[in-house]
């Protein structure tokens, strides 16, 4: 009876080891099948496969521990339970009267089962590590596919396509200048991300991170020939070049994807700022060594319009919008107001009738200082016709009621802006000068200049 029990236990152990062996083989086979699946299906099954492998590996580890314990107990019992048989040979207390040559060898089954479990465990662990690598690679592959960006011209130019969404279009279905600027920013960040030389998502290189440096824009000039409308697909090319000893220039070209027509272009100058002191810094040589291999000596704008000096406005500006306060969503990852937000603030003091009947043909901005969440900003605008007629505007008081003395032309410093009606009958471009400043101290934040043209199809406000 005892012999049969021992044989049954050995058979059960052998059967368990056999099942475990097949489980390990199934893990390996399923992993190989997952590897040969299409990318889309493989990505869909990654999380489930990784979790399943982890659960099976844990089960293998638990069973292996149990088998080791059984082996240890059986070995100790065998030594302690041995006694002499009637013929003088050693017998086992669990198999009394049966010579060793006739005993089922449980030790062989235990060792074989233990080796099988250990092999299955190692296979499962390797499969989990491989699955994690596949998951990481697939994530990068899917992300690059979603971005739809690629490097061209010896990998010095980054190209990406965008679809103009409904929430990026205005009342006349055309994209705004803020939309164009946001696309520029997204293209630039995706470019440095694909170039593999950055340390974080904001374009900071490894050497810049060691020196606690970040990029800040000092000047931007944008020219728009035609604004894309809702549903249009645009293609943006961007590249970088050196600018002076401590600067970097980034250029952009926007094309209509359907026709290849260039509809906008922009150039910007970037320098480095210390993240702790918030002061501008020289470019270290190790940073230059990191980024200079990516420079392309090519300009997208040949005119000098963006380099002209911008006149400074003061309290005599006819259009002033006060009490502009940064909101939390206006802050970027470098803990200051996003560059695109300044464009919106500049347009806050532009007469509404100008915005309705005209569109922005070009814009030049000079960034003087950063803005924090606790600052209150004031936006000033003035048409250049008034500046040309009154070159000493800072020394001359405005006539009562504004430029033309009419009550509608009064600038309101409490935040609500009233403006004269600007007729779209003339096609002559209208020039404006702008200033963003701290409302309390008067310190300059951004100086700007804009050129406006009459829209091709004037759409009145309803």
DSSP state of 409: G
Instruction: List Cα–Cα distances, 77 to 93, 198, 442, in angstroms.
Output: 9, 64, 92
DSSP E strand stretches across 392-440: 430-438
105-134 pLDDT, tens digit each: 666 666 666 677 777 777 877 777 777 666
- Number of Cβ within a 10 Å radius of residue 42: 18
Instruction: Tell me the per-residue pLDDT of 48-63, one tens digit each, with 9 for 90 and over.
Output: 555 666 676 677 677 6
Calpha distance 460→421 (Å, rounded): 12
Work out how many domains the chain is built from and give that number: 3
> Do 321 and 257 have their domain in common?
no
Residue 334 falls in the annotated catalytic set = yes
Give residue 100's domain range.
Answer: 2-146
Residues 300 and 363 in one domain: no
- Three-point CA angle 270, 273, 275, nearest 5°: 140
State the pLDDT at residue 64: 67
Gap between the Cα atoms of 432 and 31, Å rounded: 65
Mean pLDDT calculated for residue range 302-331: 89
Do 426 and 439 lie in one domain? The reply is: yes
Name which residue leads in pLDDT, 10 or 377: 377
CATH number at residue 250: 3.10.129.10
Let me know whether 408 and 286 are in one domain.
no
DSSP letter for each residue of 284-302: PHHHHHHHGGGB----S--
Known catalytic membership, residue 336: yes
From the candidates 300, 371, 382, 434, give the one annotated as an active-site residue.
Answer: 371
Of 334, 386, 390, 413, which residue is the catalytic one?
A: 334
45 has a pLDDT exceeding 70: no
pLDDT tens digits along 225-273: 999 999 999 999 999 999 999 999 999 999 999 999 999 999 999 999 9
377 with 246, same domain: the answer is no
Q: What is the pTM of this model?
A: 0.64
If asked whether residues 157 and 91 sit together in one domain, one would say: no
Task: Map residue 221 onto helix, strand or coil.
Answer: strand
Instruction: For residue 73, name the pLDDT band (cuts at 50, 70, 90).
Output: low
With cut-offs at 50, 70 and 90, classify the pLDDT of residue 165: very high
pLDDT of residue 459: 45
**Which domain-ending residue is among 117, 146, 175?**
146
Interatomic CA distance for residues 439 and 445, integer angstroms: 10
170-201 pLDDT per residue, tens: 888 999 999 999 999 999 989 988 877 666 65
Angle CA 173–266–246, to nearest 5: 145
Same domain, residue pair 360 and 454: yes
140 and 156, same structural domain? no
Q: One of 221, 294, 336, 434 is an active-site residue; which one?
A: 336
**DSSP labels for 124-158?**
HHHHHHHHHHHHHHHHHHHHHHHHTEEEETTTTEE
């Amino acid at each position: 009876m005892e012999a049969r029990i021992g044989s049954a236990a050995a058979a059960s152990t052998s059967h368990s080891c056999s099942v475990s062996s097949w489980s390990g083989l199934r893990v390996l086979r399923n992993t190989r099948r997952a590897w040969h699946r299409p990318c889309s299906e493989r990505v869909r099954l990654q999380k489930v496969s990784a979790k399943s492998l982890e659960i099976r590996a844990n089960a293998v580890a638990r069973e292996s521990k149990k088998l080791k314990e059984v082996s240890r107990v059986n070995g100790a019992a065998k030594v302690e339970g041995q006694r002499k048989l009637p013929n003088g040979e050693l017998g086992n207390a669990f198999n009394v009267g049966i010579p060793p040559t006739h005993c089922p060898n449980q030790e062989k089954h235990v060792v074989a089962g233990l080796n099988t479990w250990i092999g299955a465990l190692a296979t499962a662990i390797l499969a989990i590590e491989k699955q994690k690598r596949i998951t990481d690679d697939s994530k990068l592959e899917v992300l690059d596919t979603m971005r739809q960006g690629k490097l061209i011209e010896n990998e010095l130019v980054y190209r990406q396509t965008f679809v103009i969404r409904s929430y990026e279009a205005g009342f006349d279905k055309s994209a705004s200048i803020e939309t164009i600027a946001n696309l520029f920013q997204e293209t630039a960040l995706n470019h440095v991300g694909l170039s593999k030389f950055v340390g974080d998502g904001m374009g900071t290189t490894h050497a810049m991170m060691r020196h606690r440096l970040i990029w800040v824009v000092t000047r931007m000039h944008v020219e728009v020939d035609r604004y894309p409308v809702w549903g249009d697909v645009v293609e943006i090319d961007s590249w970088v070049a050196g600018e002076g000893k401590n600067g970097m220039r980034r250029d952009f070209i926007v094309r209509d994807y359907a026709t290849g027509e260039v509809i906008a272009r922009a150039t910007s100058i970037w320098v480095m700022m210390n993240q702790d002191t918030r002061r501008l810094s020289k470019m270290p040589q190790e940073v230059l060594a990191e980024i200079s291999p990516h420079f392309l000596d090519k300009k997208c704008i040949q005119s000098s319009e963006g380099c002209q000096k911008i006149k400074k406005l003061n309290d005599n500006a006819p259009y002033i919008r006060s009490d502009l306060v940064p909101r939390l969503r206006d802050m970027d990852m470098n803990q200051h107001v996003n560059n695109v937000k300044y464009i919106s603030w500049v347009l806050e003091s532009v007469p509404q009738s100008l915005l309705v009947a005209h569109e922005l043909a070009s814009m030049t901005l000079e960034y003087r200082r950063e803005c924090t969440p606790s600052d209150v900003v004031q936006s000033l605008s003035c048409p250049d016709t008034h500046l040309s007629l009154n070159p000493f505007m800072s020394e001359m008081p405005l006539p009562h009621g504004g430029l033309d003395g009419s009550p509608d032309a009064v600038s309101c410093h409490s935040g609500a802006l009233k403006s004269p009606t600007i007729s779209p009958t003339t096609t002559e471009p209208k020039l404006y000068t702008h200033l963003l400043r701290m409302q309390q101290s008067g310190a300059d934040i951004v100086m700007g200049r804009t050129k406006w043209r009459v829209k091709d199809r004037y759409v009145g406000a309803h």
